[in-house]
Structure 1
Amino acid sequence: MEKSTACLVSAIVILCFCFINHVKSDSLDHRYKEGDFVPFYANKVGPFHNPSETYRYFDLPFCAPDNVEEKKEDLGEVLNGDRLVVAPYKMDFLINKKPESICGKKLTRNEVAQFRHAVLKDYFYQMYYDDLPIWGFLGRFENDDKDDTNEATVYLFRHVHFEILYNKDNIIDVFIRNDPNAVVDLTEDREVDVDFTYSVRWTQTDIPFEKRLEKYSQTSSLSHHLEIHWFSIINSCVTVLLLTGFLAMILMRVLKNDFVKFTPDEEALDDQEESGWKYIHGDVFRYPRYKSLFAAAIGIGSQLFTLVIFIFMLALVGVFYPYNRGALFTALVVIYALTSGIAGYSSASFYYMIEGKNWVKILVLSGSLFSGPLFLTFCFLNTVAVAYNSTAALPFGTIVVIFLIWTLVTSPLLVLGGIAGKNSRSEFQAPCRTNKYPRHIPQLPWYRKTPAQMAMAGFLPFSAIYIELYYIFSSVWGHQIYTIYSILFIIFIILLIVTAFVNVALTYFQLAAEDHDWWGRSFLCGGSTGLFIYGYCMFFYNARSDMSGFMQTSFFFGYMACICYGFFLMLGTVGFRASLIFVRHIYHSIKCE
């Protein structure tokens, strides 16, 4: 069993490092001579505050060529909503340009309405020049009453000025500046003549090519941001040390007394009536009722835990540098597919360990417990995106590719892992014999029941990470850049430690109350942090963001529900594994008859 797991993990590591080399390679050497063509692509447009609601660049009535040339994109770029096309600007290396016309056109009343709506909704556009990201806004509007945009005066920028920094034969940086005087008034609903122009100026700089992307990560590394991040870690550590320290002292003291009480001399043993957690030693290792569902949840949780670890490995070695288009999404798809064997192996081996019989059922559950809800959510959100004609809608070809990955990689590895887990035939190591008939669980007060225990179990881990959650959400659902992955990894380790320790403490108190049904509750309590994170999603959406509209709301709450569900499965597995180790240890330490 150990050899099979080691081989599988080794294969994943090798494939991941091959993936790292693939991501970091580039077909261009980014070196140019004067007058050389430089790749320039327009990407997408959309409301600034709605990151998921994006549209193709030429969906707005810009000056478009007769044949729009599209750039071939990889899987991650498509999943990210990128739809790159050749931009309508010609900016060869080191060629300055005075204001030059792109095209002159008469905007129809419908086109004026399109641009006016885009300006009022704070539409921005994104481009890439020599793989450097560029952003710009379409225009500006002025109104006395900020709540009434119907009375606003709307202006469309018709001139774009590009400032390009270069160092010898490399392009270092690109800026866009809009001339506030070169605007077109779109307030009235009438046809408008407009001449779209642009200009280019090249400026030499001493910044080396290797550091040209550093400015995008500097916001995360500014002193006041670093202070907040380190305060988050210190806050988490102090909270963890204090609370878990108190719990540890109480738990150790109680356990010590229990061991003294439960291991008396031979003469006094017969006269003492058993009580507390030793009293239920014949039921504590009774298998859960829903074996297949429980084992499948353990398998998926193990897979997601492995997925997160590999994502952190790639992040810490520098794969996810700023604006490495689609690298994170590609990594998620590839690693999830490759780690499906871990889900199959973990679920099947655990299922047979607790005397399960139907291995086909466990593989079906393992393959659908997480991917099923994710697939249904994707179908709904993709339909919404298609209705909005957004770039967030995946093309049919991309859907076919993902289906083939699931069919040819994910499913076979899941089955192979399941077969390996089934054949491992390891026995469940229980230090006590299980009674034929279960003992009656006494009536417990409300604070010892599952909902209250889940609330207590989820609050402490959540309190250790909630400060860092704001920066993560602002990066994923905003325009901030998060690059301090080392701090995030420390927070993740703290999250795992707190989750494990809190579950151990709650499991002990549950057993001390003579409630032997701890298997499922330890999983639910461990995963309850995911529910707290989803609660924070609602707070972030309403109080910390300006997102609006049905599509953005659907994408935010839909995909965050899937992410929080994944955390629920992963942390639930961590909580159960920690509780299982603890329960085995304490029952090994006493004499069970």
Structure 2
Amino acid sequence: MSTRGSCLGTNPWSRWPTLPWLRVLLGLGLILGLQTASSTAFYLPGLSSVNFCEVNKETNYCKSSIEMYVNRLDSVESVLPYEYNTFDFCHDFKKKSPSENLGQVLFGERITSSPYEFSFNKTETCVKVCKKSYDSAKEDQKKKLDFLKKGMQLNYQHHWIIDNMPVIWCHDINDGNKYCTTGFPIGCFVTPSGISSDACIMHPEFNKNNTYYLFNHVDIIITYNSENEVDWYVSKLVSARLEPKSYKHVDENHLTCNGTPMEIPGDYTDKLNIIYTYSVKFEENKQIRWSSRWDYILESMSHTSIQWFSILNSFVVVLFLTGMVAMIILRTLHKDIIRYNQEDIQDYGWKLVHGDVFRPPRHGMLLSILLGQGTQVLIMTFITLFLACLGFLSPANRGALMTCSVVLWVLMGASAGYVSAKVYRSFRGLKWKTNFFLTALLCPGVVFVDIFIMNLILWIEGSSSAISFGTLIGILALWFGISVPLTFLGAYVGSFQKFDYPVNTNLIPRTIPHQAFVRRPFFSAIVGGVLPFGCIFIQLFFILNSIWSHQMYIMFGFLFLVFIILLITCSEATILLCYFHLCSEDYHWWWRAFFTSSFTAVYFFAYAVYYFFAKLKITGIASTILYFGYTMIMVFIFFLFTGTIGFFSCFIFISKIYSVVKVD
């Protein structure tokens, strides 16, 4: 699968212009599912290439200087990222930072320039970058060294960028394969009991107890390709790799970059000097073109040999089950309608409750508010995933995914107001102004309060992910300045539109017979959430891995396909269970339809808890609170749009079946 987009570059619609929607959907699934690393994909990041040439050939058309930027440092053992300059590394005093978009700010990316600068195609060996001195007698220097030790103990990772590409680090693992990652560690730590952690395991010479080993040297390999056949001296960078090393430089005037590692004893109380160095060399590779240079980032994923056949098998099983559900419903319903439309057959089952099936539910305003917000999130998610699948929101365009999501959510405020107001009116509600205010403020307010509390913790901990006060004001301006007025506009239109049900509602509610345990709402919700969760838990693992284990997520094609299957599964599971309840003369389906599919969010949360304890090594109260705080936001958003899918699917189904039968 190519990282330039997760859909094939050729247009599948041009081949099958007249096929029905089902075959088109299956064709899309086949295209997305059978992609491999060798597939040719199109790339639409909106970025232009940069030409490089040697120093003596530099012109306005190409440049020789290669700048390296540094991003925030993060760790799988802590949710708290830090800016590069928070640590006492070699800093660039010019401090040039590229402009950041809203998505980068919200994600906590902090990209800044570094003192590492290279000349194209010029090999350099053991070049000094800077020297850092520490005296334990001076409090400020002692704090800087202690913070550096803490970073090594928690396995914080560097993230470097060259020509908008992440610099990757590859090393051998036990089975003979290579494991590559977009970050490399500050250093590693051998505990007082002699247990080596993280990178120290790969270096047998790192064997002293209670000792920190700092990676103060990097060997960088930059690969280029001369694609221009006219200007043969012009090249483009196609990959960047490095290998971190630890050297104790004795003489800064005669650096050799070999010898004993840079050791920092855990109880060090003397003076300490650390010299940072690098070596760089260039290699030409004519096989990799600039348009496909992000393909090599596939190696940076921990599961490059992903079980494609297992995922495809899950897709087939889910499609088969949903097809069976649809077939059962259609066959059973077809027989019921034929029997009910015969004059000499007495009413029974779901037709008996025709006078109560559209009776307004309790707490109708709250339900309409949740449905309005769910619609807003659903539309936002669909458009975002579709654009990501096409390659517009590729990893090369940093922060584009989050920016697109926020902008779409703001613009979809009108849909939230319209749906909420129209559903509330169908419940015969009269307080449409209260409905509008709660639709615009309730669910976004819950998310904003959660984000504010998380941001307060990040600010106290000094993390780079802390959103500035100005950014918070900007988010509030988008909310109240654009989203709220659009919500009002949609609510105004929706509240004055007339809505008629297929059948009238009786004045006196019908008595509901005693229901067995298997027909109780709670049991139905438990059963109804299993099948939708079954179709997403594989992709859920990779999403959580990309968020908390700092892996790059690029499988938007598979994610979009899973999203479509999730819509189908939620709809059919909810319709099936609602039909069985109506056949048992239980007409309280409004909230049940919402909770049947939205219960998938409960399984989502349970899996997130399992992932926290089984897969992560997060320590500390602050990191734990942040993990579950952000998880609750994801679960709440998932709860809204899955519940909305189930509700409207069930509503359409019930409206159709009661409009095609004879009602006495």
TM-score (norm 1): 0.88
Amino acid at match of 2:186: L
Once structures 1 and 2 are overlaid, which stretch shifts more, 277-286 or 582-591? 582-591
2:75 corresponds in structure 1 to 47
2:635 to 560, 564, 573: 564
2:576 corresponds in structure 1 to 505
User: For residues 460 and 72 of structure 1, what CA distance do their matches in structure 2 show?
Assistant: 44
Deviations 1:155-214 (A, max 9, x none): 112222222222232222222222344432111322212222222222222122212111
Higher helix proportion = 1
SS of residue paired to 2:395: coil
1:186 aligns with 2:239: no
Contact 1:100/1:198 (8 A) holds in 2? yes
User: For residues 590 and 336 of structure 1, what CA distance do their matches in structure 2 show?
Assistant: 40
1:442 corresponds in structure 2 to 513
2:53 corresponds in structure 1 to 33
Amino acid at match of 1:146: I
User: For residues 639 and 631 of structure 2, what CA distance do their matches in structure 1 show?
Assistant: 12
SS of residue paired to 2:237: strand
2:185 corresponds in structure 1 to 137
Amino acid at match of 1:136: F
User: For residues 471 and 533 of structure 1, what CA distance do their matches in structure 2 show?
Assistant: 13
1:58 corresponds in structure 2 to 85
1:277 corresponds in structure 2 to 350
Q: Relative to 1, partners in 2 of residues 1:330 and 1:344: Cα closer, same or farther, differing over 3 Å?
A: same
1:490 aligns with 2:561: yes
Q: How does 1:140-179 map to 2 (within 5 A)?
A: 140-143=188-191, 145-146=194-195, 151-168=209-226, 169-179=235-245
User: For residues 92 and 352 of structure 1, what CA distance do their matches in structure 2 show?
Assistant: 68
Query: How many pairs does the alignment contain?
Result: 560
Q: How does 1:100-139 map to 2 (within 5 A)?
A: 100-109=127-136, 110=142, 111-134=144-167, 135-139=183-187
1:592 corresponds in structure 2 to 663
User: For residues 162 and 148 of structure 1, what CA distance do their matches in structure 2 show?
Assistant: 24
User: For residues 277 and 415 of structure 1, what CA distance do their matches in structure 2 show?
Assistant: 38
1:92 to 112, 119, 126: 119
User: For residues 66 and 519 of structure 1, what CA distance do their matches in structure 2 show?
Assistant: 62
1:297 corresponds in structure 2 to 370
Amino acid at match of 1:33: C
Contact 1:237/1:494 (8 A) holds in 2? no
Q: How does 1:163-562 map to 2 (within 5 A)?
A: 163-168=221-226, 169-182=235-248, 183-187=261-265, 188-190=267-269, 191-206=271-286, 207-217=288-298, 224-225=305-306, 228-242=307-321, 245=324, 247-248=325-326, 250-252=328-330, 254-265=332-343, 268=344, 272=346, 274-423=347-496, 425-428=497-500, 430-562=501-633
Q: Relative to 1, partners in 2 of residues 1:555 and 1:319: Cα closer, same or farther, differing over 3 Å?
A: farther
User: For residues 133 and 368 of structure 2, what CA distance do their matches in structure 1 show?
Assistant: 65
Deviations 1:110-148 (A, max 9, x none): 233222221121111112122111233212333564399
SS of residue paired to 1:171: strand
Contact 2:369/2:438 (8 A) holds in 1? yes
Once structures 1 and 2 are overlaid, which stretch shifts more, 434-443 or 386-395? 434-443
User: For residues 412 and 357 of structure 2, what CA distance do their matches in structure 1 show?
Assistant: 32
Amino acid at match of 1:87: S
The Cα shift of 1:239 comes to 4.2
User: For residues 348 and 467 of structure 2, what CA distance do their matches in structure 1 show?
Assistant: 60
Contact 2:216/2:246 (8 A) holds in 1? no
SS of residue paired to 1:113: helix
Q: How does 1:570-585 map to 2 (within 5 A)?
A: 570-585=641-656
The Cα shift of 1:382 comes to 0.2
Contact 1:217/1:482 (8 A) holds in 2? no
SS of residue paired to 1:582: helix
Q: Relative to 1, partners in 2 of residues 1:412 and 1:217: Cα closer, same or farther, differing over 3 Å?
A: farther
Contact 1:112/1:189 (8 A) holds in 2? no
User: For residues 454 and 46 of structure 1, what CA distance do their matches in structure 2 show?
Assistant: 38
SS of residue paired to 2:157: strand
Contact 1:113/1:189 (8 A) holds in 2? no
2:29 corresponds in structure 1 to none
Amino acid at match of 2:340: F
Contact 1:283/1:439 (8 A) holds in 2? yes
User: For residues 468 and 235 of structure 1, what CA distance do their matches in structure 2 show?
Assistant: 11
User: For residues 402 and 108 of structure 1, what CA distance do their matches in structure 2 show?
Assistant: 44
RMSD of aligned alpha carbons: 2.6
User: For residues 445 and 145 of structure 1, what CA distance do their matches in structure 2 show?
Assistant: 61
Gaps of 5+ in 1: 1-22
Once structures 1 and 2 are overlaid, which stretch shifts more, 307-316 or 407-416? 407-416
Gaps of 5+ in 2: 1-43, 56-63, 137-141, 168-182, 199-207, 227-234, 249-260
The Cα shift of 1:47 comes to 2.1
Contact 2:45/2:391 (8 A) holds in 1? no
Contact 2:68/2:113 (8 A) holds in 1? yes
Contact 2:374/2:643 (8 A) holds in 1? yes
TM-score (norm 2): 0.79
Contact 1:300/1:369 (8 A) holds in 2? no
Contact 2:131/2:276 (8 A) holds in 1? yes
Deviations 1:550-593 (A, max 9, x none): 33322322222112211211111111111112212222232212
Deviations 1:204-251 (A, max 9, x none): 2212221211111356798841xx234223224324424751x45554
Once structures 1 and 2 are overlaid, which stretch shifts more, 53-62 or 172-181? 172-181
User: For residues 322 and 95 of structure 2, what CA distance do their matches in structure 1 show?
Assistant: 61
User: For residues 314 and 584 of structure 2, what CA distance do their matches in structure 1 show?
Assistant: 33
Q: Percent identity?
A: 29
Contact 1:462/1:529 (8 A) holds in 2? yes
User: For residues 83 and 301 of structure 2, what CA distance do their matches in structure 1 show?
Assistant: 30
The Cα shift of 1:49 comes to 4.1
SS of residue paired to 1:370: helix
